[in-house]
Amino acid sequence: MDPSEVEFVAEKEMVTIIPNFSLDKIYLIGLLLFHRCCIKWVHRMGDLGPFNPGLPVNVPVWLALNLKQRQKCRIVPPEWMDVEKLEEIREQERKEDMFTPMPSSHYMELTKLLLNHASDNIPRADEIRTLVKDIWDTRVAKLRLSADSFISQQEAHAKLDNLTLMEINTSRMFLLDSLDCMYKLRTNLLSRGGAPKGHDY
Amino acid sequence: MPAERKALRYGHSEGHTDVCFDDTGRYIVTCGSDGDVRIWEGLDDDDPKSINVGERAYSVALKNGKLVTAVSNNTVQLHTFPEGDPDGILTRFTTNANHVTFNGDGSRVAAGSSDFMVKIVEVSDSSQQKTLRGHQAPILSVAFDPKDEFLGSSSCDGSVAVWKIDDQVQVVSWNVLQKSSDVSNAKSLCRLAWQPGFGKLLAVPADKSVQLYERNSWNNVSRLSDDFIAQPVNVVAWSPCGKFLAAATIGGFIVVWDVDTKQCIERQKHEKGYTVCGLSWHPSGGQIVYTDTEGCLGLLDGVAASSPQHGSKNNEVVNKAMGNYDDLFDEDDDGHLAEDLSENGLAANTVTGGGNEDDEDDDLMPSTGRPRNRGAFLDDDDDTSVDAGSVKYENDGRVGTPLPSVPCPAVSQPRYEGPMPTPPQKPFQPGSTPVHLMHRFLVWNSVGIVRGYNDEQDNAVDVEFHDTSVHHAMHLTNTLGHTMADMSQEAVLLACEGTDELASKIQCLHFSSWDTNKEWMVDLPKEENAKALCLGQGWAAVATSALLVRIFSIGGLQREIFSLPGPAVCMAGHGQQLLIAYHRGTGFDGEQALGVQLLQFGQKKRQVIHGEPLPLSQKSYLSWMGFSAEGTPCFVDSEGTVRMLNRSLGNTWTPVCSTRESCKGTSDHYWVVGVHENPQQLRCIPCKGSRFPPTLPRPAVAILPFKLPFCQTATEKGHMEEQYWRSLLFQNHLDFLSSSGYEIDEEARSKGQKEQQELLMKMFALSCKLERELRCMELAELMTHSVVTLAIRYATRSHRMALAQRLGELALEKATAQHEEDHEDDEEQSELPSTRQMSGMTPSSRKPLSLGISGGKQSKEPALKPLVPRPKSKVTQGIIMVAQVCFLRYNTVGYRGNSLHLSVPFSSRPKTGFQLWLEENRKRILADKPDLDETDIIKEAMSLFRALSAEDRLVGVHTACQWVSLCVFEVLYCKFAFSVDLGCEQNVKWGTRLCSTAALVLCPKGCWLSPSPLFHCRKP
């Protein structure tokens, strides 16, 4: 999956908005199926609304952004999208060798989407952007490091917890391709009869 | 009487804290490990003044407007009070000081440091220092002798020493403490305290007790302890009178002893069990503030207020009275009460509850004694330099030291001891935050938000609508300085109070107007200020300081004007209703005496509530008032209780929600912005640690459910009762709306009714299970007729025949009552014959037993409606008869028996289509099935008749003319089918009623009658 697809998946996440219009409940199941059948069979949103002006309501991100672009709502940033909380997460992420659980499985995508489209509704948007980027960098560095040690130690399998979809997708293509490549090289060596040595790539 | 423990407040971040009162007792000063000193105007101060003094503050002392702090940069600093400006450094140590204290007159400061030294510094000249060396470990605490002769100090080396200040020598030392290496490891802070006055006793906390050492002899004269104390004592503090000693311990026990009797008069436990590390008495006694190691600030009120008296009783009264004033100030500080009262802190002013009520003052005290009396009063409070002297002497007298020559001014004066008047709360706009804030909400209601900014750059008002389709947002420069606002779907109303030059103005932006001029402004007469305002539909109302309510049309026409019985507190408008809260009189002991008026404009103008008292919670004030979206008046008091007008119970107020219950912390509140009855929603903004939200970050609205304060709502019964009555209460608006000519949502009504009836049935079933038959009957009385029949079924099924019998009678009454109403409608609407004959159509069927159906009344007087329902109408009797007969059959046959079929006529003269058809076809049926008896024939006929097409039947119906019902009772598991065969057109209405009263019953087993044939019949 390329990043835009992952972002598309992330758009199903729910976010709170404060609408400035009034609308009865809308029933989006059909619409959602139509939209998303290619990705996932059913993501049961159920019913959205009712929308009361001034009252918070939960809607999927794609709808929130659409409404926001039409200036029909204000987006309430998710609870974790807060400078103090993110700083804490960043420190935790830096301190630990393992991946720490993220507040949202689409933290990167949501940050990007919300900050790009609704930065006026999010206090200290710039700091949040930097913090999330820091967290992302830390995690991707960890991912590279673990891939490196995975290969250098010639492990057959490895387990990585708490990775988000976007992170997996950034390394998947390259990692799989290079593993394939290495496998070919190695089998070539074997077929020539030369026993593989420690670091043969 | 135990002291009242006020709710804890978050004061500082976690860590060591210290607390003291200022000389007047008006301010509480705290310091904490966050390096801040906070000045609180009473415990309820939501916006304490913060002074940053360093990275960490260890100890604070305050006297004569000088604030001394021991901070982490190893210095003892001086700040001015209450401004908080730095005033120099008093002294330095090689490491941080742990405790600082003033001497009696505030001329010297003593500080004990972790570098084992104690220094005594002159405040006026910090070069004059005396250093006391001799302790072998960090100093824990220092204490000045009130006569300035000695100084006590405690140290981590386990010793408590007394020093002669002038000679800088140790007079005596006791090893009573546990040794430790550092303050942080010390078990107890061991704060020493000298008895005020003559310093006769030195109190030393030693483990779980307090040792008292006598001056000069330095003997341990007594030991105060209590079983309540489970952990070492941390801090001790003498009451200003020297009679009581308070001690607080690790683990949060606070104990007060009467030193003379050694009796423990007060035991309190910290509500969270944190270690108390700061303790201070109010300068007039009566209150103790304390802080703990988690940074919380607490207060005990009424300490030693009613303890046994030994000395002069009058003094105690002073203390008690002072405590009360502080209460007043506390509330005042909340920013909701009259400001002028707190401005100068004059006790005398508060006694009378307002400057203009001096007459009352005269009544309370003999006029000759008054000036002197007042002077004496003020001694304690205002004149700080005299404070120590005069109070101390009196106090000494109490402790027992003979002091005959000391004048005691307060003792001989008579004093008012009764309840104290409450300062009246200031007028406010519902949904606004306090006026003194720079950024505030002028109003937040269900339509939108008006925010006011008043800082250096800008004085502006932002108007924003929740629903942008109402109007786009507006930004107005606030040149007039508007402080009040209201908004509706049609207009924004703003008002400012008058100044010396300018009159009070009202500005209205009626953006919904169709002409081009969308704004008007009105000047109030001179000396008249707008105090509260509101908008309704097509009108605006302003309450003024001249006790007038002025009504304007939305276009700016002046309309009605009327006087209020008292100063307005707030107003709310909705549609054609105006709700006004005003001061009905003076409240006492923290209560507000508010009255409420509800006026109705529109076609028939009238006053609905005539200035009745507004039922606030105890010692609370009004914090929000308004209408639900559906138009029912509601209000919220400062205790967070939401009350709603119950129009069906003589306009009483029912508490529908307690927002306090939903709060997590004790100082959290919910700020109500709207009430909705359908769906049931209380819209409010959660505020952490304050009563109102800040404008930024933009607060989010939360929804709270309603809950009537019923007993035992945890049980199924209580829960359902609550649901039932809540559902009923929140339906009231429908009646009101329909009575005032609005369209109402019939669907919502029927849904609500269905819910209520279902709840009743559930409760009925529950009571049945619990064998509470009387309760069952009580429930049945609340049910509609149709549900009563269901209840009858339930009762018979659970073999409660007595109950079922009674229910049957009840059903009869209900049906009669209902019919009577219906009948009256009929009289009005149609020319139906008022008498109807009735007789049995099928005489062979079961005789209706014991029912007075024979003698039908020939005429009736619609004007006289009997109070007790009695069988009047034949029609209903018929219905009931059927029900009764069915019921009796039921009992005899058993509910699981085969289907029972009864058909009962209501009228013989006019016959139904079915009857006609039956007469025609009886023979044919008999021929087909000769072995049938009468009822079976009818049954058979019925099914055949039903099989006919609607058209065929209609023919029958029309020929039959008039009306009649026929019913068959079908015994199916717990379900009824209703059906009524209708006669001619003019009686269609009757048929529907019969249906709805649900008497009847039709169809053979397994064949449910769908409603459609009925409707066919109904349609002409």
The DSSP annotation for chain A comes to: --HHHHHHHHTTSEEEEEESS-B--EE-HHHHHHHHTTT-S-----EE--B-TTS-EEEEHHHHHHHHHTT-EEEEPPTT-SHHHHHHHHHHHHH-SSPPPPSSTTHHHHHHHHHHHHGGGSTTHHHHHHHHHHHHHHHHHHHHHHHHHHHHTT-S-----S--HHHHHHHHHHHHHHHHHHHHHHHHHHHTTPPP-SS--
| Residue B1020: predicted pLDDT | 34
In which residue are the tokens 């085969």 written?
Answer: B898
Check residue A92 and give its pLDDT.
92
Q: Does B745 touch chain A (CB under 8 A)?
A: no
The pLDDT mean for chain B works out to: 74
In chain A, what percentage of residues exceed pLDDT 90?
A: 42
Mean pLDDT of B154-182: 85
Instruction: Verify whether the Cβ–Cβ distance A54 to B466 is below 8 Å.
Output: yes
pLDDT tens-digit series, residues B549-596: 999 999 999 999 999 999 999 999 999 999 999 999 999 988 999 999
Mean of per-residue pLDDT scores for chain A: 84
pLDDT at B680 over 80: yes
Confidence of residue A106 (pLDDT cuts 50, 70, 90): very high
**Given a cut of 60, is residue B699 above it in pLDDT?**
yes
Query: pLDDT band at B902, cuts 50/70/90?
Result: very low
Chain A residues 117-176 with CB within 8 Å of chain B: 123
Mean per-residue pLDDT for B769-791?
Answer: 89
Angstrom distances, CA of residue B642 to CA of A170, B573, B649, B712: 54, 18, 17, 20
For an interface test with A, the pick among B447, B450, B467, B472 (most A C-beta atoms closer than 10 Å) comes out as: B467
Q: How confident is the model at residue B413 (pLDDT cuts 50, 70, 90)?
A: low
Confidence grade of residue B729 (pLDDT, cut at 50, 70, 90):
very high
Tell me what the mean pLDDT of segment A55-68 comes to.
91
- pLDDT for A154: 83
Q: What is the pLDDT of residue B134?
A: 85
pLDDT band for position B303 (50/70/90)?
confident
Give the span between the Cα atoms of B533 and B554, in whole angstroms.
Answer: 13
pLDDT tens-place string over residues B482-540: 999 999 999 999 999 888 888 999 999 999 888 888 899 999 998 899 999 999 999 99
Q: For B623-637, what is the mean pLDDT?
A: 93
Region B757-761: what's the mean pLDDT? 93
Mutate to test the interface with A, among B443, B451, B466 (most CBs of A within 10 A): B466
Q: Which of B79-88, B109-118, B1008-1017 has the weakest average pLDDT? A: B1008-1017
Q: Determine which helix (DSSP H) or strand (DSSP E) holds B648, and give its type and residue range.
A: none
- Predicted confidence band at A193 (pLDDT cuts at 50, 70, 90)? low
Phi and psi angles of residue B54, each rounded to the nearest 5 degrees, phi first: 165, -165
CB contacts, 8 Å: A21 with chain B: 467-469
Size of interface A-B (CB pairs under 8 A): 33
Q: Is B683 on the interface with A (CB under 8 A)?
A: yes
Q: What is the pLDDT of residue B494?
A: 94
- B393 near A CB under 8 A: no
What CA–CA distance (Å, rounded) separates B900 from B1003?
A: 10
pLDDT of residue B338: 42
Q: Residue B558: phi, psi to the nearest 5?
A: -80, 130
- Name the minimum distance, in Å, from the CA of A88 to any CA of chain B: 18
Say if residue B422's pLDDT is above 60. Answer: yes
Whether residue B903 is predicted with pLDDT greater than 50 in this model: the reply is no
More confident residue, B521 or A2: B521
In this prediction, residue B479 carries a pLDDT of 87
Q: Where are the alpha helices (DSSP H) in B929-987?
A: 934-947, 950-960
pLDDT-based confidence at A86, cuts 50/70/90?
Answer: very high
Q: Which residue has the higher pLDDT, B830 or B959?
A: B830
Residue of B921 and A159 predicted with greater confidence: A159
* B477 pLDDT above the threshold of 80: yes
Q: Determine the residue among A20, A71, A74 to mutate to test chain B binding: the one whose Cβ has the most chain B Cβ atoms within 10 Å.
A: A20
How far apart, in whole angstroms, are the C-alpha atoms of residue B395 and residue B415? 19
Give mean pLDDT, residues B963-979.
Answer: 33
**Hey, what's the torsion of the CAs at B464, B470, B476, B479, to 10 degrees?**
-100
* Model confidence pLDDT, tens digit, residues B590-626: 899 999 999 998 888 899 999 999 999 998 999 999 9
Average pLDDT over residues B351-376: 40
Of the listed ranges B60-74, B111-125, B369-383, the one predicted with least confidence: B369-383
Cα B836 to Cα B719, B878, B903, B958: the distances in Å are 47, 11, 19, 19
Would you state the pLDDT for residue B67? Answer: 86
The stretch B762-785 carries a mean pLDDT of 90
Q: Does A101 touch chain B (CB under 8 A)?
A: no
Cβ-based burial of A159 (10 A; exposed 0-12, middle 13-18, buried ≥19): exposed
Residue, of B308 and B231, whose pLDDT is higher: B231
Segments of B874-999 assigned E as strands: none
CA distances to B347, B361, B854 from B366, rounded to whole Å, are 18, 9, 83
Both tokens of residue B318?
């002073």
DSSP 8-state code for residue B975: B
- The residue-averaged pLDDT of B854-864 equals 37
